[in-house]
Structure 1
Amino acid sequence: MKISLNWLKKYVFPINMDENQISNILTDIGLTVKGINNTDKDFILDMEITHNRTDAMSHYGIARDLYAVLRFRGYKVHLLKPEINEEINCNNKSRIQIFVKKHEECVRYSGMFISKIKIEPSPYWLISRLKSIGIKSINNIIDIMHFVMYELGHPIHIFDMDQIEDGKIIIKNAEKNTDFQFSDDIKIKLNETDLVIYDTVKPLSIAGMINNIKSNIHIRTKNIFIGSACFNPTIIRNIRKKHFLKIETQHLFEKDIDPNQTVYALQRTSFLIKNMTKNKIICSDIIDFYPNPVSFSKIKLRYNKIVNIIGRQISRKKIKKILLLLEMMIYYENDKYLFISVPSYRTDVQREIDVIEEILRIYGIHKIPIYNKQIKITTFPKIFYKTEHEIQKMFLEQLVCYGFHEIISSTIINEKEYSYLLNSFFNRKEIRVMNPVNQSHKLMRSSLLFNMIDCIKYNYNNNRIDSDIIKFFELGKIYYKRNNKFLEKTCLGIAISQKEKNESKNSPFFYLKGIIEQIFQKSGICNYTQILSKHPLLENGISMLYNHKNLVEIGKYKNNILKKNEMFYAEIDWKYLVSLIQEKKIIYVPFSRYPTSRRDLSLLVDKTFSFERINQLIKKKENHIIKKIKIYDLYEGSNLPISKKSYTISFFFESKKKTLTDKIINNLMKKIEFFLRKELKAEIREK
């Protein structure tokens, strides 16, 4: 938001202040303001206003807030409210009537008409004011409308009164397929959800934001109607997004504004028009629709709560002074608390904590001491999830949050259906039930994969799925013989299957792998390695090892038993995972205060080299400023030798002690390149 400093000074700098005083107040971030008292020069402040501070989205709003800060810091300044003139000649017999049919969407609507105006170019002062904040001058009436909107932060709209049929303003929802033309070449269709200002025949404006081309003022306009409204901001925002409307003042229409300012905005507009127009204009009385007046919010403010939140005792005298400067009136007090009323323009102050925030803001956060005790690395004796039940609950809840459904299946499988898969699980021999209830089901399962296939097939065949992707998990036991020993093992199986060929950008394999890695990271399991999987039923898969022991198998089920549907499966050694989590110690390390830098490196290596091998080789160098290594791209194909493939690897550098310069990072990248050339015979590709 652009704020003109010369414009701002009209309200809050009427008393002489030297240049250095103003500079110190307005330029805390180090910018020096010179020649500030020179009226021929202007300075534009590009300000970021938080979305909840609608009261500060104007020149007078900024001045009002700045006045409180300056006055509290001891500067002798006054706040000048924009002038209005209530002595305008009025025609009490107003020719305009206002009807509001959507009370919940229109909180207040005020209007007046002005006759015998003359459309002409604006004076220099008005043109220069608007130009300073990037607004192009159109004519004196439109420019005054824009001036008041940027001065007070309250939206207003103007119609050619002679185009208002029967002298009636009706606020209601549009009829279906209503044509609305707001320029010569742009026409849109309105429907029942659009809030529109009508006369008795046609729509005049979409909620005061954009006028119908027929109701706009023009060079021959003599009589105008000025409207000032307070609409429901959610309704306005939805209308604008639906019709892709874009206007310069949309930030005013889409925020909670003060309904108690509509009449004042009209008085200010009529005052400026009267002073600017040479003709003797005639104004009507203000017509005001305000069925449910908004009163000041009343809040109880406790002194002990202020101390608890801020962490420091502030004198009660200073607290009261700040409240009065912010126009928060005290209507009752005792030794323990204050009852205050908050002005209606402070729509963001609704609770006690909001008032405390305002007190701290004006008092100065920099005045609150911060005890700079260095944070020590803390070692916890054990992870928060101690028992297997707690670990199980954490894992399964996480999978449910990712959209997976838990299944519970039989431990006995159909021997005929899976005969071709048996005896293929790493020398596992199936265990047969001697007295089976069903002769076809007499094998104990040696993997959860079989049950996953059954469940997915059943859901496909019976149309029991609502989306194109099935996501299941099961925590259960498997049974097998090895070296004449009967073994029982608990596993966590996770499966994703696509109903048909899905053009989704995210591969199910990497999606499944990413979920497992996130759960591992949450559990403190980070230093695992990855190798190509040797699982007999999974293709293009990987094995995730921890301390050289197999923890997870992930891959694509390579049999066509599911026909056209793909299935990706992961099986986790549950007991081993639980033991790792229970032994893990959580170490808290504070975030670095210095930025992370990234460098990409493209290299050509032999096809037999996996990314994991490259990753482990670099990790062995144990450079403390390499925070993370990620694969960015992999390419095999044309323009490359048949025996080669290309990796693009991203390196992330970060230091706990200082900001890393380009020189430090570039020197380290040269060492990495030399190391990869030496160890892998890699060819570094041009950047």
Structure 2
Amino acid sequence: MKFSWKLINNFTNLSKIKLKDFEKDLALSGLEVDNIKNTDKCKDKIIQLSITTNREEIRSSFSLAREISTIFNIPITIIPIQLKYHDSTEYYSQKLTNTEYTHIAYIRIVKFKIVYRKILPKWLLNNLSINEIKKNDILDSIQEYIKIKWGQTFHVTNTIEIAKNNNIIQGYKEIKLFNTKTIQLINKSSNESYSKSKMLIFTTVTQKANQKLQNNEFFENMFIDSIKLITTIFGCRIEKYSHAHQRIIHKTQTIEIEKKNINQCLGYTKGKKLRFIEVKTIKKILKQLKLQPTYYKKNKIFKITTPTYRKNDLTRGIDIIEEIGRIYKFHYFFNRIKESKIKGNRSKKFIKVKQIRRTLNQLGFHEVINCCITENIKNDSTTAKIYNPIINTQKELRKNITENLINNYRQNIKHSTNQIEIFEIGKVFSNSNQKQHNEKTHLSGLIYNKKYARSDWSNKPSEITLFHFKNIIETFLETINSTAILKKIVNNNENKDTNYPEHLLKKNKKIGIYNKKNKVMIGIIGEINNKIIKNNEIIYIFEANLSKLIETTKLTYHLRYVAKQYSHYPSVTRDISIKVKKYTDIQKIKQLIIKNQNKFLESIDVFNEYININDRAKNEIRYVGLRITYRSHTKTLNSQDIMEIDKNLKSQMKELQAS
């Protein structure tokens, strides 16, 4: 069956409903859309539906609009005008005199004389052409249009035909409620001057006045629409109509449904918790379907009354349950939970990234997420630029994550935050020489803490130093079972990576993170240059290539210990202070001591570093405090051994100070 989109819009507003959603939801509700096509001639959309045999009430634009309002929960825009029958002539059989009636059968007869005929308007002909109706008679065309629009229409006759033919009312079930004599009696009471004029018979059956649903088929609206159309086209004067009503009994169709049957048929609703559709939701849907629901909490039963236009297809409890599922949408239910105990394969990267996040959280870092589109501090040929950026501050893809973390620091420092410890795992981008885009995943972190450590309980806490930060990174690498090492950055082309923010760090306060096996640089740590942050605050950062860092780790669930014989003899400790040049590498000092030292050497630790503040501007000298431990596995060290150790230390100190 074909319907006009414009004509449906006369009853309900479809402007907010997308055509795809309209077609999809109608199909899920049992009204399959065969085709929707635009017509340039009518400037309208023609909707072709496949109406099943159980939904025969959908035969007009009004009935389809009513169904659409139920499915999409949108109101009917036309307000129904109440039918007034109390001042009409009443005809009823003696059998119903003392019986409680449920409905009113109503008849209205209108007479008019045709003065002139206008040509049928184009919009009316378009609506008839949609349904492939061709009528030569103007009144017949109006009659068909009213039927297409409202689903019911008037019967055309005259006084002479009623007098001659008692079967004039055959085929009109509402008129059959009144016998021919009654119609003739109503006709005689009208003006005799209209005896040869056309007669229109309007009939309807409506519920009695004290019930909730009155005039549920919009009879009065249909009557006004018909009269306006006839008077406009024929230019006629309508006589005051004659009408009558009769009390009748229509058996009210009530259905009882148990809540457990609804749960059993529809199943659980999809959500975080397993639960059935709630009672208040069911009541809301039943009201939406105009089923007048009543819920009996004690027995957990719904009692509903089906409307007249749905009495043929809503006859059983399962029909009501189907209607509930249709409106709630069936795809929001599932009837069986599939339990799967098989875990999917987790990659090494997934496990390690999860471990890295957990380790950094345990070390006091908080994860942040930033946008990859930004404006880099340093631009060169490797910068990945965006064509036609929306704003100037977002015209490039980031080369490193550290610059985003610096922006996070600036935002937090505005709120007087004295402790900022953050990290991020995200993408960085660059261009290669072949103008190809490279995408990598980096790990970056930032620490700003003015009250990190306290040397003595009576002293105030001091800010974090490079040694503290270096120890944090070493702890992090050890926790994730990484074999990466921290050492002085070797400036060569092989280890150069444009995605490491080396340009943001102070020249002599940066350390490289290296793969111990292939000596390839995989990251960097250091102190941010004050020119970048434009203040004298001390901020430390680290950034590493996540994939290369994971390559240095092992998926072991235990630590690899080296079994070594423990000495039962006491140790001898010597604390020395070595005067060296400001930028002498500490590893070089350790290696020199180890190289020339005897077999009793056990460990070398740096416990202090200081400079002479008064001479800071004149020279480049610093003092390093070393703690050297000696121990034998076979004996207790005697005075001769200790004298030999002290002698070697003095010669090594002279050698170090000279270099």
TM-score, normalised to structure 2's length? 0.38
User: Considering only CA atoms, is the larger Rg found in Structure 1 or Structure 2?
Assistant: 2
